[in-house]
């Protein structure tokens, strides 16, 4: 983390979990535990249908609500999809783009990630853009090249002001939902590499202002060590964000002096 130049953001990714009543119960359970966030921003990305209910449930807190996906077109014949304006109008502030599960199961590509990033920013949403390598890619030694490609593709055509509003989440695919976390050093190295790519493309001022998260089996036990890395500015948390105690512990780890 680097509190001088950029925001620390702890974001939960609920994936396809929790009904509306479970969402409300989570809000009631976590509210008394959370205390003041201090400098850390807290986000919960929830299934689209539950966004209005989640916004209401977290109304008197500083928890921002986000979507987990969006379409890049403004309207049209795209059965089952939601637009950025729809997300915005029901109170979402963030949207996850290019999660590896979307890339794997729903044909998300670096091209659609770029289009969606443009659309989200145009609507005033902050995109959380996910990048990350598979185990095979890591073992073949192409992690750096792949991440550089994914980051450049995602940000292509954005101006400096827009890049500052993008959150990048480095999520090695082999660490997602597997309980196998990248070591703090491995995660820190790739996040530093991402910042170096942004520095090269957009300059030092933009690079130091961008929030870069780590995601992939981040939990109550390993969060503090990961967040102690200078280029890891938060987390995108799946499993551990479903439990109020664990999620609170991670938020508190981000609020350490
Ligand atoms: P996990 O998921 O924390 O359950 O590994 C992270 C993610 O997919 O964003």
122-140 pLDDT, tens digit per residue, is 999 999 999 999 999 999 9
Segment 22-41 shows an average pLDDT of 89
Residue 257: pLDDT over 70: no
178-208 pLDDT, tens digit per residue, is 888 889 999 999 999 999 999 999 999 999 9
CA nearest to 6, candidates 207, 232, 209, 256:
209
Segment 222-228 shows an average pLDDT of 96
Q: Is 176 in the pocket of ligand 1 (CB under 6 A)?
A: yes
240-252 pLDDT, tens digit per residue, is 999 999 999 999 9
| Residue burial 24-63, b: 16+ Cβ < 10 Å; e: rest | bebbeebeeebeebeebbbbbbbbbebbebbbebbeeeeb
CA distance 192 to 108: 25
Residue 177: pLDDT over 90: no
143-162 pLDDT, tens digit per residue, is 999 999 999 999 999 999 99
Higher pLDDT residue, 255 or 207?
207
Query: Could you give phi then psi for residue 99, rounded to 5 degrees?
Result: -55, 145
109-124 pLDDT, tens digit per residue, is 999 999 999 999 999 9
Residue 220: pLDDT over 70: yes
Segment 227-242 shows an average pLDDT of 97
Question: 45, 181, 226, 239: which to mutate for ligand 1, most atoms within 8 A of CB?
Answer: 239
CA distance 251 to 42: 7
Q: With pLDDT > 90 as the criterion, what percentage of the chain qualifies?
A: 91
Residue 82: pLDDT over 90: yes
Query: Could you give phi then psi for residue 40, rounded to 5 degrees?
Result: -85, 135
pLDDT, residue 173, reads: 95
Active site residues: 99, 171
Segment 43-59 shows an average pLDDT of 98
pLDDT, residue 195, reads: 98
Between the CA of 179 and the centroid of ligand 1 the distance, in Å, is: 9
Task: Print the SS3 string covering 16-58.
Answer: CCCCHHHHHHHHHHHHHHHCCCCCEEEEEECCHHHHHHHHHHC
Between the CA of 101 and the centroid of ligand 1 the distance, in Å, is: 10
User: What is the Cα Rg of the chain in Å?
Assistant: 17
The pLDDT-based confidence of 49 (bands split at 50, 70, 90) is very high
Q: Is 35 in the pocket of ligand 1 (CB under 6 A)?
A: no
CA nearest to 98, candidates 76, 129, 124:
129
């Amino acid at each position: 983390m680097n509190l001088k130049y950029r925001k620390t953001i702890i974001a939960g990714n609920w994936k396809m979990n929790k009904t509306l009543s479970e969402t409300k119960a989570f809000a009631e359970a976590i509210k008394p535990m959370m205390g003041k966030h201090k400098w850390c921003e807290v986000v919960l990305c929830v299934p689209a249908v539950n966004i209005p209910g989640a916004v209401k449930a977290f109304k008197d807190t500083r928890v921002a609500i986000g979507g987990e996906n969006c379409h890049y077109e403004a309207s049209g014949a795209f059965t089952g999809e939601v637009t950025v304006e729809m997300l915005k109008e029901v109170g979402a502030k963030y949207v996850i783009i290019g999660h590896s599960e979307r890339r794997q199961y729903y044909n998300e590509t670096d091209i659609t990630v770029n289009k969606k990033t443009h659309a989200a920013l145009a609507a005033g949403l902050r995109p959380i853009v996910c990048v990350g390598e598979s185990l095979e890619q890591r073992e073949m030694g192409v992690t750096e090249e792949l991440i550089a490609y994914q980051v450049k593709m995602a940000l292509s055509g954005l101006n400096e002001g827009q890049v500052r509003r993008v959150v990048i989440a480095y999520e090695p695919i082999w660490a997602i939902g597997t309980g196998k976390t990248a070591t703090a050093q491995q995660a820190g190295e790739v996040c530093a590499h991402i910042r170096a790519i942004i520095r090269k493309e957009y300059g030092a001022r933009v690079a130091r202002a961008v929030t870069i998260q780590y995601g992939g089996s981040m939990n109550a036990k390993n969060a503090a060590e990961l967040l102690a890395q200078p280029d890891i500015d938060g987390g995108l948390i799946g499993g551990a964000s479903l439990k109020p105690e664990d999620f609170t512990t991670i938020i508190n780890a981000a609020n350490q002096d």
